Structure 1
Amino acid sequence: MSDVVRYEVTDGVAWLTIDRPEARNALSKDVREGLWAGTRRFVADDDAAVLVVTGAGDKAFCAGGDLKEMAETSLEVPPPDFLPQFGRNIDVPKPTIAAVNGVAYAGGFLLAQQCDLVVASDHARFAISEVKVGRGSPWAAPLSWLVPPRVALEILLTGDPLDAARAKAFGLVNHVVHACDLRDHTQSLARRIAANAPLSVRAAKQTAYLSAHHDLADAYDRAEEIWAPVYRSADAQEGPAAFRDKRTPVWKGR
């Protein structure tokens, strides 16, 4: 981990926080390295069932790339490992949530987009602003799967920000809450996920993304393959037994 990215686990929920509020949590080299380290730590952390990505302060989730650093290094095409992109250059089988506490522009939009769920404060803003600074956004290729194609085109072509309410209306955001409630609301959502059977949660996440990669018939076949070991697991017997016995299930993850 780096000094500008913090990792902490509370009740099975890992919080990965970009702690560079004076620079609007921009993606400097140290931040990028910290995000890589934190993501790998979460994947390997048996005590963490859900990852929340957020930024320190109340102004910015992440304002994107560090433009000063880019100018100094004359950055052209970012390398494939420039930034962790969940599901693209690193496999993250457990659920992820973006807690967006301010602006999520450019690379900040990327971080939010790659998470499975998004909770936003009511003053959050989202933008793919690369067209305004002559940069690129190849990572936005899945956007038209997340929102209607014409909405994706407007976001990409104008570079104009969406407020939290409009982002929610388009399906880019799951929940919009008051800024003072963002952490508690996100923690509560993550804990509800973490309380569920872990094998079922992971399979559910895989299933949700099948239609982005396969036609319907293939998606059904692949879903059957994903869920077969879940049906055969000890947890699949524990759930009904706990219901019968009127007790809280004890998941083993096997």
Structure 2
Amino acid sequence: MTVPSSDSVAERPAVGYALDGPVAWLTIDRPERRNALSAEVRAGLWAGLRRFRDDDGAAVLVLTGAGDKAFSAGGDLKEMAAETLRVPPPDWLPQLGRNIEIDKPVIAAVNGVAYAGGFLLAQYADLVVAAEHARFAITEVKVGRGTPWAAPLPYLLPPRVAMHLLLTGEPISARRACELGLVNEVVPADQLHAAAGDLARRIAANAPLSVRAAKKTVGLLARYPLEQALEVAERLWAPVYHSDDAQEGPRAFREGRPPVWKGH
């Protein structure tokens, strides 16, 4: 692999945003720093996620890292030490559903290590596709830092698995993460981009109102008792049932053609 010159590193943005049809790609582009979450990278993530949220041409986002070593190795410890950062502010890093609301699906394409803040980004994504060599770890206990963002982790993993990750700081493989339900699919590294893009396009081909309501439905039990969750779900899906798209789907099926979604 060719190491980029300092000039080329300085010239390119720390986080890139690109649209491929209905799929937006948000790429942390500091592979020479293991895609560490510097202030510049964090600002780029915020800007990219807001751009996706407001981009009517983008139906699904794929978040990934440049290179084949790291999705993100977490916070830039040298920068944090220089700034003597103590308690990170609530907006230090985007946390989907906590400090930024995006009703469209976000897929993490994990191309290497996802440690600490990198684990956070994967945890808060809606779906995760990982390369076979990817590793996941919550390493804060090894450097004396905190993980308040891990509070939802027992919703995704068995509590004792979450406890092991948090107390040891030790990594788990992509395969193990898939067995535990943290990862949806594991693929060879050279197929990661294609696999994540294919998943995104399959989702983007579906009725957009249904996709967005489905995303919100999945998290209801984490917020409400079952009876209340069902009531909220009924209200959530009512506009979908009353939409033009709810008539277009059956009509297209009857006429033997692909549906043309309007999103209303």
Indicate whether the TM-score tops 0.5.
yes
Other-structure match for 1:228:
238
Matching residue's letter, 1:121: A
* Per-residue deviation, residues 155-209 of structure 1 (Å, max 9, x unmatched): 0000000000110010000000000000000000000000000000000000000
Partner of 1:146: 156
Aligned to 1:95: 105
Q: Please give the secondary structure, in 2, of the residue aligned with 1:252.
A: coil
Where 1:235 maps in the other structure, the secondary structure is helix
1:158 aligns with one of 156, 165, 168: 168
SS at match of 1:92: coil
- Give % identity: 69
Q: Deviations over 1:74-125 (max 9, x none)?
A: 0000001111111000001000100000000000000000000000000000
Equivalent-residue separation in structure 2 for 1:131 and 1:138 (angstroms): 12
1:164-183 pair list within 5 angstroms: 164-183=174-193
2:111 maps to 1:105: no
Secondary structure in 1 matching 2:52:
helix
Equivalent-residue separation in structure 2 for 1:174 and 1:149 (angstroms): 19
TM-score (norm 1): 0.99
Give the whole-Å Cα distance in 2 for the aligned partners of 1:196 and 1:238. 12
Q: Does 1:130 align with 2:130?
A: no
**Aligned counterpart for 1:27 among listed residues 31, 37, 44:** 37
Give the alignment's TM-score, normalised by structure 2.
0.95
Tell me which residue corresponds to 1:202. Answer: 212
Structure 1 residue identity aligned to 2:171? P
Residues 208-246 of structure 1, C-alpha deviations (whole Å, 9 max, x = no match): 000111111011000000000000000000000000000
More deviation, 2-11/229-238 = 2-11
Q: Which runs of 4+ in 1 moved over 6 A?
A: none
Q: What CA distance in whole angstroms lies between the structure 2 residues aligned with 1:49 and 1:113?
A: 20
Aligned partner of 1:69 in structure 2 is 79
> Equivalents in 2 of 1:164, 1:3: separation in Å?
29
User: Partner residue of 2:4?
Assistant: none
Aligned equivalents of 2:141, 2:71: Cα separation in 1: 20
Q: Secondary structure at the match of 2:217?
A: helix
Structure 2 residue 26 is matched with structure 1 residue 16: yes
Write the distance in 2 (CA, Å) between the matches of 1:132 and 1:184: 35
Q: Distance in 2 between matches of 1:27 and 1:207?
A: 31
Residue aligned with 2:222, SS:
coil
Taking the aligned partners of 1:3 and 1:176, their CA distance within structure 2 comes to 29
Structure 1: 5+ residue runs without aligned partners?
none
Among residues 202, 207, 213, which one is paired with 2:223 in the alignment? Answer: 213
Cα shift at 1:3: 1.0
Helix, strand or coil: the match of 2:206? coil
Name the SS of the counterpart of 2:219 in structure 1: helix
Aligned residues: 253
The equivalences for 1:38-77 within 5 A come to 38-77=48-87
The CA deviation at 1:11 is 1.9
Q: Residues of 1 paired with 2:82 and 2:260: CA distance?
A: 54
Name the residue aligned to 2:15: 5
